[in-house]
Amino acid sequence: MFRTGITVSLALAGCAAPGYRAPEVPIPAAFRETRDTIVETPATLSALPDTVSSQDVHDTTLARLLNEAASANLDVRTAEARVRGARSARTEAAFDLAPTVTFAGGYTRQQLSSAAFPIVAPAFPDQNIWDAGFDASWELDVFGRVRKTVQAQSAFVAANQEDLRNVRVSLSAEVARAYFELRGGQERLSVATKNAANQQRTLEVTRQRLQAGRGTAFDTERAQAQLSFTLASIPSLEAQVRQAQYQIGVLVGRPPAALAAELDAAVPLPVLPAAISVESPDSIIRRRPDVVAAERQLAVERALVGAAKADYLPRINLGGSAGYTALSFDALGDGGTFRYAVGPFITWPALNLGRVKARVDVTRAREAEAQAQYSQMVLLALQEVENTLVRYRTAHSRMERIRDAAEASERAAELARLRFSGGVADFLQVLDAERTQLEAQDQLAQSRTDAATAYAALYKALGGTWPSAN
């Protein structure tokens, strides 16, 4: 079942330290739930598309909402800002590979202490010191401390980019879920409204029979009670529809009610494929942004360990300065005012190696934590795919069974009303048939919604790819 030792190699070119490899995590050769109506196809890697077409989600309105959310949602903008910040931090770290040069100029009025130089002069006059020049310093990255830091920042950029992609994937799944719940709620509302109309007609029949002396008050009150129960369910369904509309508005970056009028018109839930194609576990794990982000964070911590260990060794710097110093501004640049200094200097924390070791231990602990989190993320991703596959498969199976029951209950209710009108059956049979019909139709609408929301969850589990029909 398991291909022990399969490495999910997610290292990005130029982002990982030399010799870095992602840890090996056992991955099954196939998902257990890829059976019956769901089949597996050869592994293929595909990037998350920039736009969603109606063929992907079988609904033009949903495709438009998904594309609008991808560009206007505030969580996406927040993640994009984090990526920009990470890139700037990487650029700043990369500047440490080059010399630092600063220009400075200034004026100082001073008087030296005659007590410090009693033999030279009894007193020193006030002096005006004018100075202009530059200072330069450059750490020779002999032991790779700066390079490791830049590698860590590069991996951090990649982690933030994957976090952004994960936000977009999760957002698309959330928009789809809310949209499917909206359409499912509208379908349930339509079922309740139609059944209420049928029950209203049944109530009128019982009243007419009562007035004609062929019915009973008991039948009329039972019909009224069933109608009232159905009517009582309508307000809560209307509230569910409104809440879904408001959620979609916020998800696409608009005020809650901005899309309510546009989404008021009921549209059937899209017809989803019963059999879908699923890639291999290894391929899906490679594509999932949360897994890739966890691996990139591990690469960050691994590089920071190397940077911390470099502090055991000396730092070699080249420094220099050049400029002019004169007693008056007009004299700057004259002969004798030029100055310079250049030379290397070495620093080594010989008496602070205990502190260095403590910092190295901290980074190693963070690396171990990141490695455990990465391995856990892989396992959770595999679990999520298995869960969503079985949820989608069973939701489709349940929907087919309930569809048969709904069709049968509709025929039974019509026959019960005909038999009652002809005096062949009592009114209790009509009430029971109508109650069964309402329950079956409502459960059918709910099962369609469950299958659609499972489809959205499967999209997220597959790492941002809409499941395609087999």
Encode pLDDT of 17-40 as tens digits. 456 777 888 888 888 877 544 444
* Parallel/antiparallel/unpaired status of strands 276-278 and 315-326: unpaired
Among the ranges given (112-126, 216-230, 358-372), the one the predictor scored with the smallest mean pLDDT: 112-126
pLDDT tops 90 at residue 78: yes
Supply the pLDDT for residue 246. Answer: 97
148-157, 190-199, 258-267, 298-307: least confident range: 190-199
SS3 of 317-370:
EEEEEEEEEECCHHHCCCCCCEEEEEEEEEECCHHHHHHHHHHHHHHHHHHHHH
Share of the chain above pLDDT 70, in %: 89
Q: How far apart are the first and last CA of the chain?
A: 24
**Is residue 80's pLDDT more than 50?**
yes
Going by pLDDT thresholds of 50, 70 and 90, the confidence category of residue 149 is: very high
Half-sphere exposure of 131 (CA within 13 A, CB side): 14
Q: Where are the beta strands (DSSP E) in 30-157?
A: 39-40, 100-110, 127-140
> Among all chains, which residue has been given the structure tokens 């200034």?
106
Q: Which pLDDT score, from 0 to 100, does residue 125 have? A: 73
pLDDT of residue 321: 92
Using CA atoms, how far residue 429 sits from 84, 192, 416, 420, 455, in Å, is 68, 20, 6, 8, 39
> Pick the residue with more confidence: 125 or 82?
82
Question: How far apart (Å, rounded) are the C-alpha atoms in residues 239 and 237?
Answer: 5
Residue with tokens 């008050």: 217
Rounded distance between C-alpha atoms, residue 460 and residue 470, angstroms: 19
Higher pLDDT among residues 254 and 7, named by residue = 254
At 6 the pLDDT is: 34
Tell me which of 124 and 183 has the higher pLDDT: 183
Which three-class secondary structure state does DSSP give residue 5? coil
Does 48 have pLDDT greater than 60?
A: no
Q: How far is CA 259 from CA 66, 91, 242, 255, in A?
A: 13, 42, 10, 8
Sequence letter at residue 234: I
Q: Is 124 exposed, middle or buried (0-12, 13-18, 19+ CB in 10 A)?
A: middle
Q: What is the C-alpha separation between 145 and 359, in angstroms, rounded?
A: 14
Residue with tokens 């309508």: 234
Residue that is written with structure tokens 């679990």 in the block: 383
The arithmetic mean of pLDDT across residues 387-400, rounded, is 90
- Stretch 280-294: mean pLDDT, rounded? 91
What CATH number does the domain located at 2-92+146-312+352-469 have?
Answer: 1.20.1600.10
What strands, in cross-sheet order, belong to the sheet with 127-140? 100-110, 127-140, 315-326, 338-347
| Model confidence band, residue 417 (pLDDT cutoffs 50, 70, 90) | confident
pLDDT confidence of residue 433: 85
Q: How far is CA 325 from CA 127, 198, 399, in A?
A: 12, 101, 89
Q: Are β-strands 276-278 and 39-40 bridged in parallel, bridged antiparallel, or unpaired?
A: parallel
Looking at every residue in the chain, the average pLDDT score rounds to: 85
Given this model, what pLDDT does residue 115 score? 66
Question: At what angle are helices 145-211 and 289-309 packed, to 10 degrees?
Answer: 160
Query: ∠ CA(82), CA(84), CA(87), 5° rounding?
Result: 110
